[in-house]
Chains A and B, each alone.
Chain A
Amino acid sequence: MTRKEAAKVRPGQTHVEAVRDTFPGAVLDVARQAEDQVTITIPADMLPDVVEFLYYGRDGWLPNMVGNDERPLNGRYALYYLLSMEGADPSFVTVRAEVDPSTREFPSVTPRVPACVWSEREVRDMFGLAPVGLPDERRLVLPDDWPDDLYPLRKDSMDYRRRPAPATDVENYSFLYEGDVEETTEVPMGPLHITSDEPGHFRLFVEGEEIVDADYRLFYVHRGMEKVAESRLSYDAVTFLADRICGICGCAHSVAYAESVERAQGIEVPLRAQYIRTILLEVERLHSHLLNLGLVCHYCGFDTGFQHFFRVREKAMDLAELLTGARKTYGLNLIGGVRRDILEDQKMATVRLVRELRGDVEALVDMLLSTANFESRTAGIGRLDPKAARDFSPVGPVARGCGFARDVRFNHPFDGYAHLEGFGVRTHDGCDVQSRTLVRIEEFMDSLSMIEQLLDGAPAGPVLTEGWTYAPHKFALGYTEAPRGEDMHWAMAGDNQKCYRWRAKAATYSNWPVLRHMFRGNTVADAAIIVGSIDPCYSCTDRVTVVDVNKRTETVLTKSQLESYCRRRTHSPLKGRGDA
């Protein structure tokens, strides 16, 4: 192949040409951020057509859409629709459009590609850019008491340390019912419970026992991390903040952030550091999947299994402590590499722990799968229609349990994953809780083998690159496959050693919008196991009990009714403790 031909087939190029051919004159600009990342700029009014074409026409999936206030740079706002192309020519194609700062309107893509719904709602909250035609006009991120005309992520909006005075005293969020049954009973769950550190407010619309529809509201504990990163931290300290996004997949976030900056700035990460990052990411998967498998036991009424999975999980935590010096895989990433090498005795100890884990978990999984309740409580429960999955771009075991081979480790191999041999995407096509669980079990076993292969294959050498040149206003994507699905970070450097804009998308962000589809047609008693099966980053849903239902409306279930029902069906040991 000649040089010229090689240049022609750079990843993503075929998609750019296809957009050019289909929509003559639409592509105003093409810019490449990294080998596998290309951004095309189009007029805002072409957004729905071009995004739909790439999404449905060329096997694109939408991890996120990022808004950016670029008025200080070019006088306009910009929107970046990030598309992960997972068919032919795998790559990331970003569709960028500028929005006029005087009208602040753009045509909503959601009616054509439903996966955009949360991102477009968020852009309206944070930047005051109105998606014209967006069916859902409610706030997503901002609380009810936030003033109407204050948009936190605009560059000229506010001092991040000061919270504005509340605009209202009452919760005025309306929950939307999309079912077609006339008379339903509303069951509120949440928003707060004394034991729940991560609140969420659920409304189940039920007819008798059956859930007809569900709506929910999250972001009660939105921490404003993106604003903090822009205003207070220097760009190379953000890896430590990114760690704190999640109590479980922190390393996945900090690797994703670090790699977005490294790709944008063209920083070469030493191969050994890439291997170490990959090992840490898999260690995270070990303990996260064990946690979820334990919870599945618990929901199936097999609480002894729950205790044993948690006992074994402790070994995965020990592994993290051994490799990073902390119980969680926190604080190991810097821009340019990692801070700790894996030494020979640590390698030996890791291999030993991995071997123990394999034996322990095989025995436990065998027990879980032969539990009669497992089959009856998970098979056919929480079915996610593959069509809804295709429309909303869910990630991780939720997508893979629907038969979609979506896994950035294999769709877009990065770091050590590019060097692994003999692994592939694990999928099941039952679309139910059982499939998601089986995907996790298989991935857990794969992770163990991956860690062994990576430890053996890691080349000697430095673990950190230092002394690069920093160029402002360059941006790129960083991505990892966290235990729950892909984490997608988009970062643009500023001219003051800070992030100009950082957008961190956690895996569960992509999975919440499909949850209502999973609820439909199931019974109230299955609600907890369905939420549990997306392994939500907010892990306390099962402990949220009904709050003052009698005071809400005349048609709700009483608290004691719902509780006794839950207890009878799930034998939840957390119940007594949670209500104390």
Chain B
Amino acid sequence: MMLKLFKEIRKTGCGTVGYPYAPLDLPKGYRGKPSHDEAACIACGACAVACPPNAISMELSSEQDQITWAINYGRCVFCGRCEEVCPTFAVKLSEEFELAVMSKDDLEESCAYPVATCARCGKPYASAKEIDYARRVLAQAGGGEAAGGGAPAAASEAPGAPAASAGSPADVAASLSKIGLCLECRRRDDGVAAVRHAPAQGGALC
């Protein structure tokens, strides 16, 4: 038995790896620290909704002029749901895994985005970048001017946007014309339009 043991030890040789003095081999698809591309992010909040442990949060400032995207790496479970749901590929799980810090506050990162106000009533209603993104997606769907600016690839790869499936250029144009309005103003417009068209469509609108 002793002999077998010595043989095994000899066969094994060095059982440890060079890390931390040499880089560690990580497999493809390793799920490390989520990295946030603040330029590509449109502050839509999809990641904050999907995040199971509430590591990612979205908070509106008290003046309602800024929305803050924030991540707490202390809460993160590295599941990568944020990466899956992000429409602009702004969140990606990196290969970074050395997250230890001396102070807990250093585990938090945040980034603030301006909030757009309604063209009619002036109330803040959504992240300005998100509206801009929607505008570009609609333009793309309507075959109009090609999307420019920050995230052209993202805009062309967003077939899931509702307007794109809505179809006709007229629909797209209608959506584009309403994009600067808040939900409440849009609802009011829809209501007014419904009343106006109700007799023609048999009054079946609700």
Contacts and interface: CB of A to CB of B under 8 A. Distances in A.
Interface in A282-332: 304-305, 307-308, 311, 318, 321-322, 324-326, 330-331
Contacts of A308: 8-9, 12
Interface stretch (B23-31, B154-162, B187-195): B23-31
Contact of A244 (B30, B77, B84): B77
A370 B15 CA distance: 23
B5 A240 contact: no
A371 B5 CA distance: 10
A322 B84 CA distance: 19
9 contacts: A240-B52, A241-B52, A304-B5, A308-B8, A308-B12, A321-B30, A331-B78, A331-B79, A364-B8
Contacts of B84: 339
A325 B77 contact: no
Interface residues of B, number: 21
A322 to B, nearest CB: 5
Interface in A230-274: 233, 237, 240-241, 243-244
A419 B120 CA distance: 63
Given A244-B77, A366-B4, A321 B27 contact: yes
B142 interface: no
A150 interface: no
Contact of B80 (A325, A366, A372): A325
B53 interface: yes
A112 interface: no
B52 A371 contact: no
Given A321-B26, A331-B79, 20 more contacts: A233-B52, A240-B77, A241-B52, A244-B77, A304-B9, A307-B15, A321-B30, A325-B27, A325-B29, A325-B30, A325-B80, A325-B93, A326-B31, A331-B78, A339-B80, A363-B4, A367-B4, A367-B5, A370-B1, A370-B4
A92 B81 CA distance: 34
Interface of B: 1, 4-5, 8-9, 12, 15, 26-27, 29-31, 52-53, 77-81, 84, 93
**Closest 8 pairs between A and B when the two form their complex, measured CB to CB:** A331-B79, A240-B52, A325-B31, A237-B52, A370-B1, A325-B29, A311-B15, A322-B27
B53 A240 contact: yes
B27 A331 contact: no
Interface residues of A, number: 28
Contact of A326 (B9, B52, B78, B81): B78
Tell me whether chain B's interface is mostly helix, strand or loop, or mixed.
Answer: loop
A32 interface: no
B104 to A, nearest CB: 19
A366 B7 CA distance: 13
A371 B15 contact: no
Contacts of B79: 240, 330-331
A340 interface: yes
A121 to B, nearest CB: 30
Nearest to B27: A322
A70 B41 CA distance: 44
Contacts of A364: 8
A131 to B, nearest CB: 35
Q: Which of A243, A325, A366 has the most chain B CB within a 10 Å cutoff?
A: A325
A90 to B, nearest CB: 35
B50 to A, nearest CB: 8
B52 A367 contact: no
Nearest to A326: B31
B1 A367 contact: yes
Contacts of B78: 326, 330-331
A8 B187 CA distance: 56
B66 to A, nearest CB: 26
Contact of B8 (A237, A340, A367, A371): A367
Interface string A332-348: 00000001100000000
A302 B112 CA distance: 58
A226 to B, nearest CB: 16
Contacts of B52: 233, 237, 240-241
A363 B8 contact: yes
B1 A371 contact: yes
Contacts of A322: 27
Contacts of A367: 1, 4-5, 8
A311 B16 CA distance: 8
Nearest to B53: A240
Contacts of A370: 1, 4
A578 to B, nearest CB: 23
A331 B4 CA distance: 40
B59 to A, nearest CB: 18
A318 B27 CA distance: 9
Nearest to B49: A234
Contacts of B9: 304, 308
A243 B53 CA distance: 12
A434 B5 CA distance: 21
Contacts of B81: 240
